[in-house]
Amino acid sequence: MCLIVKTNDSSEVKENLIKSAYENNSDGFGVMYLMKDRIHTQKIVPKSADDIVQLFDKYKDLKIPMGLHWRYTTVGETNKSNCHPFSVLTMEKHGRDLFLMHNGAKLPTPMIDKDKSDTHQYIKYVLRPMLANNPDLLYNRDWQDMIEDSIGSDKLLFLDSKTKKFTTINEDQGETLDNDMWLSNTYSLSRGVGMDYDPVTDTLSDNKPLSVYGNTYANGTWFNKKVKGMYNDNMYAYDDWDGGMYDYDTETFKPLSKTFDIAKDGELYNLSDLYGATHDEIDEVIKRNPSGTAELLQDLVYATDDEIYDSISELQQLKNNKKKGNK
């Protein structure tokens, strides 16, 4: 997951926002803006928040509309070429510059090019073929509705040199502040890494220890367990283990060591992954992983009868396994 910021005045992007966005999305940074009828961009893979602050200082005094993007790698390598923005159309080939920034778990696209992000491949195999011959589709409401339906809760920010306009797909899925600055989300400013940021008050606050629900993996099967820990460097440091993998041969639970965190935004999980969680733990997962939760709900809404049956059967198996393990 990532963060997009669209501002009408670059001087209004606060340093606290820049630093918190980096701490929570540190895999890349980029800007796009219009100047003299051409779109200009700059991308870096920062080593610190100060790298972004230093880069952005030269833009603040321009007081111009800009798009900013902090990357959190979900698909593809972490490198400059996978940083946003991406070119969709070019002046040389299409008579206009068109650039794009994306925020979301994964776009609906064929994953053909090795080590490239889903955004890169979505542009190459989906967007560019549609827009190359008719760029004005971007402003067709029916076309926008089609894109929104296909990408779910993901957000796209376009900048077009011909119309000199930003266009946002799923704008209502983000948050607009009083100064008309638009953020594609706010959860990535409080992901639990470093300092949490409140964009309304422009304040930073320390993170607190979390009590979250996690899962364990062994022998090809995910099992649930309750864990406690402090979020640090994108991983939980567990201080409490109370679960294990059930071994049908010995009828015992074995301790596990490999985990994934369903409270991390963008992490996909199943209904059975919530088995055993309390109301508060489920509430915390929803707050910290809105994208993964949206994917789960979408899958449930459109599930076939067989898929619903499989989900219920998996829950029942977990209940049965727990009973066996408690004998």
End-to-end CA distance of the chain: 42
Give the separation between CA 213 and CA 193, rounded to whole angstroms: 17
Shortest CA distance to 257 belongs to which of 274, 275, 277, 243? 243
DSSP string of 77-95? -SSGGGSSPEEEE-HHHHS
**pLDDT score recorded for residue 240:** 33
| 183-214 pLDDT tens trace | 999 888 876 666 678 888 888 876 543 333 33
Say if residue 197 is in the same domain as residue 245.
no
Say if residue 176 is in the same domain as residue 276.
no
Give the separation between CA 112 and CA 93, rounded to whole angstroms: 24
Domain boundary among 188, 206, 224: 206
Give how many domains the chain has, as a whole number.
2
Q: Name the token pair of 33.
A: 């803006």
Residue 95 burial class via C-beta count within 10 angstroms: exposed 0-12, middle 13-18, buried 19 and up: exposed
What pLDDT band is residue 26 in, cutting at 50, 70 and 90? very high
Say if residue 142 is in the same domain as residue 197.
yes
Say if residue 143 is in the same domain as residue 229.
no
Looking at per-residue pLDDT, the higher value among 257 and 181 belongs to 181
Say if residue 108 is in the same domain as residue 10.
yes
Residue 283 burial class via C-beta count within 10 angstroms: exposed 0-12, middle 13-18, buried 19 and up: exposed
**pLDDT score recorded for residue 238:** 30
For residue 101, the cross-strand partners are: 157
Say if residue 168 is in the same domain as residue 241.
no
105 neighbors 269 (Cβ within 8 angstroms): no
Whether 244 shows a pLDDT value over 70: the answer reads no
Give the separation between CA 85 and CA 29, rounded to whole angstroms: 9
| CATH, residue 86 | 3.60.20
Say if residue 63 is in the same domain as residue 114.
yes
**pLDDT score recorded for residue 170:** 96
Whether 317 shows a pLDDT value over 80: the answer reads no
Domain boundary among 163, 184, 206: 206
| 57-90 pLDDT tens trace | 999 999 999 999 999 988 889 999 999 999 999 9
Say if residue 294 is in the same domain as residue 181.
no
> The tokens 């946002």 sit on which residue?
168
Whether 234 shows a pLDDT value over 90: the answer reads no
**pLDDT score recorded for residue 305:** 64
With H, G, I as helix, E, B as strand and everything else as coil, classify residue 152: coil
Say if residue 148 is in the same domain as residue 51.
yes
**pLDDT score recorded for residue 248:** 45
Summarize the confidence of residues 286-305 as an average pLDDT. Answer: 81
Say if residue 300 is in the same domain as residue 248.
yes
**pLDDT score recorded for residue 93:** 95
**Which residues fall within 8 angstroms of residue 99, CB to CB, at 6 or more apart?**
32, 39, 41, 67, 85, 86, 87, 88, 158, 159
**pLDDT score recorded for residue 100:** 98
Say if residue 150 is in the same domain as residue 62.
yes
What is the torsional sign of CA 180, 181, 187, 190? Answer: negative
Domain boundary among 187, 206, 225: 206
Say if residue 21 is in the same domain as residue 39.
yes
**pLDDT score recorded for residue 245:** 43
How many Å is the maximal CA-CA distance in the chain? 74
- Which of 131-140, 158-167, 255-264, 277-286 comes out lowest in average pLDDT? 255-264
Domain, as residue range, for 283 = 210-325
